């Protein structure tokens, strides 16, 4: 069951009705960053569909989101690796709302593992959830709605592949594929009125992603190594998405916005520098 909660002191920067009348479809919107993206879009007048494998989780989150924002939120069961579940969900969403103006491909799977220990199926699983999943949902929403009506598609990626990172060959490869896909689709679907964007967060506090990447072992030295001197918050990512889907960003397409406080520019990424990090030490036999 979801134990997500809404932001208690949200500071409005944009007009509260900037997304009035819009509908957003958010994969993995029942938890973590996806939940907060849904919340921030809803706080600005948008209705949402949140879709993932665990129906109980999305149902529970949808109830909280609707109650907290006064907007509609439709919870649906989807496995982004299974096109038949996606087409069914997109049909249900269009049946209820008549349009999907915004798609956020946020669903992902990840764990720390050195490439030498990754099974063939482990690599394939992450590629399928992240990269295939992003294509599958984008294509279904394009075919059924955006091809004739336009829209904005935002793919949540990561900074992992920008420099190459230990224990993340699977996730970094999948996110890099999504970044390339975004450019191709921006070129092909631009004339249909579709903008395609990536948002590549850095480390975001209070998320499953951070927990899996050793978030409980964050040190002061790590925080001090980040140019803005703090970790990201889910709200930072929700606000970035809000900006991109707003009319303020009508010229943005085929590129990546990186809300990471500069972390990928300065964080340690060197085999020997990382050797005392307990999470890495445990997983890399050579250290
Ligand atoms: C090595 C692992 C593993 C691990 C699973 N596998 N966990 N290998 N280390 N910790 C292997 C399994 O052994 C199996 O291979 C294959 O991966 C598939 O595993 P399943 O459990 O059958 O897959 P599935 O049930 O589809 O689950 C997918 C999952 C799971 C990715 C493995 O963790 C999941 O559902 N995750 C969703 C939530 C999540 O990951 N959230 C974080 C997103 S954050 P074999 O060969 O044994 O069959 C994120 C951050 C990015 O993406 C960047 C941050 C900076
Ligand atoms: P999270 O809460 O675990 O979110 C992942 C979501 O994806 C879950 O709601 C999960 O729901 C859904 N999902 C997984 N596999 C799915 C599938 N096959 N079909 C449909 N839905 C599926 O993790 P998070 O940390 O918030 O991450 C959200 C996004 O941000 C991901 O794209 C991640 O790569 C990215 N990101 C996170 C960080 C970070 O610091 N957390 C940094 C960079 C990028 P179900 O289990 O119910 O399916």
Q: Is residue 64 part of a domain?
A: yes
Q: Is residue 62 part of a domain?
A: yes
To test the pocket of ligand 2, the residue of 26, 87, 207, 213 to mutate (highest count of ligand atoms within 8 Å of its CB) is 207
Q: Tell me which residue has its CA closest to atom 32 in ligand 1.
A: 109
Q: Is residue 94 part of a domain?
A: yes
H helix intervals, 70-214: 83-97, 120-127, 133-141, 147-149, 160-163, 169-189, 208-212
Q: Tell me which residue has its CA closest to atom 2 in ligand 2.
A: 32
Find, among 218, 120, 76, the residue nearest to 128 by Cα. 120
Q: Which backbone phi and psi does 36 adopt, to 5 degrees?
A: -70, -35
Q: Is residue 186 part of a domain?
A: yes
Q: What is the pLDDT of residues 212-246, one digit of tens each?
A: 988 878 889 889 999 999 999 999 999 999 999 99
- Name 204's bridge partners: 232
Domain that holds residue 48: 23-285
- Name 59's bridge partners: none
The C-alpha atoms of residue 195 and residue 153 are separated, in whole angstroms, by 6
Query: Buried b vs exposed e over 131-145: b needs ≥16 C-beta within 10 Å?
Result: bbbbbbbbebbbebb
The C-alpha atoms of residue 113 and residue 182 are separated, in whole angstroms, by 26
Confidence of residue 268 (pLDDT cuts 50, 70, 90): confident
DSSP state string for 8-38: TT----S-TTTTTT-EEEEETTTSHHHHHHH
Does residue 274 sit in helix, strand or coil?
coil
Q: How far is the CA of 15 from the centre of ligand 1 (A)?
A: 39
- pLDDT score, position 239: 98
Q: What is the pLDDT of residues 9-56, one digit of tens each?
A: 999 999 999 999 999 999 999 999 999 999 999 999 999 999 999 999
- pLDDT score, position 218: 87
From residue 285, give the alpha-carbon distance in Å to each of 11, 69, 163, 275: 46, 49, 22, 10
Confidence of residue 269 (pLDDT cuts 50, 70, 90): confident
Atom of ligand 2 nearest to the CA of 237: 30
Contact residues of ligand 1, CB 6 A cut-off: 108-111, 113, 119, 121-122, 125-126, 158, 160, 171, 203, 208-209, 212-213
Quote the mean pLDDT of the chain.
95
Average pLDDT over residues 193-197: 99
To test the pocket of ligand 1, the residue of 27, 53, 58, 111 to mutate (highest count of ligand atoms within 8 Å of its CB) is 111
Indicate which ligand has the atom closest to the C-alpha of 137.
2
**Cβ contact 13:236 at 8 Å:** no
CATH (domain of 123)? 3.40.50.720
How many domains is the chain partitioned into structurally? 1
């Amino acid at each position: 069951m979801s134990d997500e909660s809404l932001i208690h002191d949200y500071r409005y920067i944009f007009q509260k009705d900037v997304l009035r009348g819009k509908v957003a479809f958010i994969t993995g919107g029942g938890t973590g960053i996806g939940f907060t993206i849904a919340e921030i879009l809803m706080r600005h007048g948008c209705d949402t569909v949140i879709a993932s494998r665990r129906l109980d989780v999305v149902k529970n989150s949808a109830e909280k989101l609707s109650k907290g924002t006064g907007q509609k939120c439709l919870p649906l069961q989807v496995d982004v690796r299974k096109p038949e579940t996606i087409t069914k969900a997109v049909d249900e969403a269009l049946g209820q709302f008549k349009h999907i103006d915004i798609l956020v491909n946020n669903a992902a799977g990840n764990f720390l593992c050195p490439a030498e220990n990754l099974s063939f199926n482990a690599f394939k699983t992450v590629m399928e959830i992240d990269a295939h999943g992003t294509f599958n949902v984008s294509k279904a929403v394009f075919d059924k709605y955006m091809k004739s009506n336009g829209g904005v598609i935002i793919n949540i990626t990561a900074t992992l592949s920008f420099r190459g990172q230990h224990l993340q060959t699977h996730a970094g490869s999948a996110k890099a594929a999504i970044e390339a896909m975004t450019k191709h689709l921006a070129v092909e679907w631009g004339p249909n009125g579709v903008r395609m964007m990536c948002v590549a967060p850095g480390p975001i506090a209070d998320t499953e992603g951070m927990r899996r990447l050793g978030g409980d072992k964050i040190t002061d030295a790590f925080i001090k190594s980040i140019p803005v001197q703090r970790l990201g918050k889910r709200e930072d990512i929700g606000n970035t998405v809000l900006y991109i889907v707003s009319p303020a960003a009508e010229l943005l397409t085929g590129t990546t916005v990186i809300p990471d406080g500069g972390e990928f520019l300065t964080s340690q990424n060197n085999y020997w520098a990382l050797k005392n990090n307990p999470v890495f030490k445990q997983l890399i036999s050579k250290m």
